[in-house]
Structures are given as C-alpha cells and as structure tokens.
C-alpha cells in the first residue's frame, strides 16, 4: 500500500499537469483533481469528440506543458483554469467537473464564459485544440491529415522534418 502511494506521488511529480490541484468550496477542501483529467473532458466538450480523438488533442496538451516556448505564466493559467472550472462545478452542482452530466458541463462552461478569466481560458484551450486539429502530423496530432482534409487545406511545402519544442 505504502509503495503504491509512494510511486503514485513520484508519478504526480513528473508532470505538472498530472499533479493534483485542490478544489476548494467555502474555503474548505472539497476534492483534488488533476488538470489533465479535467482538460481531457473539457476538450471533448469544446469540440466534437471524433475530431479531438483524430487530433490526439489529449496528448498535445502534455506537449504544450513541456514546451520551452510556452511561458510559465501561460502554463499556470491553463492549470489554474482547470481548478477554477472545478470550483464553479462544485459551487453549482456539488460535484467536480468530470463527474457532471454532459448538460451540466455545458452549463458550467456557459457560466465561466461570461467571466473574464473563463472566456480567456476557454479561448486558450480552443487555440490548443486548433493547433492539434490543424498542426503538422509530425507532432503526433492531426492523424492522417484529417484536419487538413476537413477544410480542404493544402499545407505549405516543405513540411517540417523535426519538431520544434
């Protein structure tokens, strides 16, 4: 048992996105969730699941969190947004975001989209979704160029030979 906890802790420390954020309600700890779990669900709530899957958008978020050219502030904002979204969900439904029904999740997104941070956060997540849907497949996204085919897009040549991370 102890070993399990220990190894889980080690795992949590390895990635910023997988580490827990504390969801607070009325100044007390309500639950702890990982931003990655929340973001995976949010991505499917913000863009059709089939396209998110084809784009491999879940894995792309991990790549963004490790990217040398995404600033620490931007990474922190992505993480904080996941925490605040959960706090909104708890305030309204007494459940963390991932435990809500689809309708409740959409309602929660509507609520936060009327707030300055929430609008900005949803736009940020959408931007990364677009990068995954329409970026070069070299990055492990846009499988079979499905995003480009969707829009009839001819990419510029030459294509990249290695990722810029």
89 in Cβ contact with 30 (< 8 Å): no
**What is the Cα Rg of the chain in Å?**
17
| Shortest distance, position 69 Cβ to other proteins, whole Å | 4
H helical segments located in the chain? 2-14, 35-46, 49-55, 57-66, 72-93, 102-113, 116-134, 146-151
Angle at 44 between CA 28 and CA 51, to 5 degrees: 160
Q: Which one of the spans 12-20, 29-37, 46-54, 77-85 is the region binding other proteins (CB under 8 A)?
A: 46-54
Q: 23 pairs with which residues across the strands?
A: 31
Question: Exactly one of 130, 140, 145, 146 binds other proteins (CB under 8 A); which one?
Answer: 130
Residue ranges in 82-121 that form contacts with other proteins under rule CB under 8 A? 106, 109, 113, 119
Specify the residue, 77 or 93, whose C-beta has the smaller distance to other proteins: 77
| Shortest distance, position 119 Cβ to other proteins, whole Å | 6
Question: Exactly one of 73, 103, 116, 144 binds other proteins (CB under 8 A); which one?
Answer: 73
Site map 134..153 versus other proteins, x via CB under 8 A: xxx-xx-------xx-xxxx
**Taking CB under 8 A as the rule, does residue 29 contact other proteins?**
no
| Shortest distance, position 107 Cβ to other proteins, whole Å | 13
> Comparing C-alpha atoms, which of 21, 33, 27, 12 is closest to residue 100?
33
For 87-119, b where at least 16 C-beta lie within 10 A, e where not — what string?
bbbbeebeebbebbeeeebeebbeebeeeeebe
Q: What is the DSSP-derived secondary structure letter of residue 109?
A: H
Question: Exactly one of 71, 76, 94, 101 binds other proteins (CB under 8 A); which one?
Answer: 71
Binding residues vs other proteins (CB under 8 A): 45-48, 51, 67-73, 106, 109, 113, 119, 122-123, 126-127, 130-131, 133-136, 138-139, 147-148, 150-161, 163-164
């Amino acid at each position: 048992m102890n070993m399990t906890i220990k190894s889980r802790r080690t795992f949590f420390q390895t990635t910023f996105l997988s580490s827990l954020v504390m969801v607070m309600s009325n100044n007390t700890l309500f639950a702890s969730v990982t931003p990655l779990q929340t973001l995976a669900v949010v991505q499917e709530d913000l863009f059709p699941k089939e396209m998110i899957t084809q784009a491999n958008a879940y894995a792309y978020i991990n790549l963004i969190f490790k990217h040398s050219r995404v600033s620490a502030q931007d990474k922190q904002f992505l993480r904080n947004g996941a925490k605040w979204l959960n706090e909104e969900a708890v305030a309204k439904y007494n459940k963390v975001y991932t435990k809500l029904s689809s309708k409740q999740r959409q309602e929660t997104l509507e609520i936060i989209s009327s707030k300055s941070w929430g609008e900005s956060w949803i736009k940020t997540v959408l931007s990364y979704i677009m990068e995954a849907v329409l970026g070069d497949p070299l990055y492990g996204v846009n499988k079979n160029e499905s995003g480009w085919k969707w829009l009839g897009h001819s990419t510029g040549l030459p294509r990249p030979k290695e990722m810029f991370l």
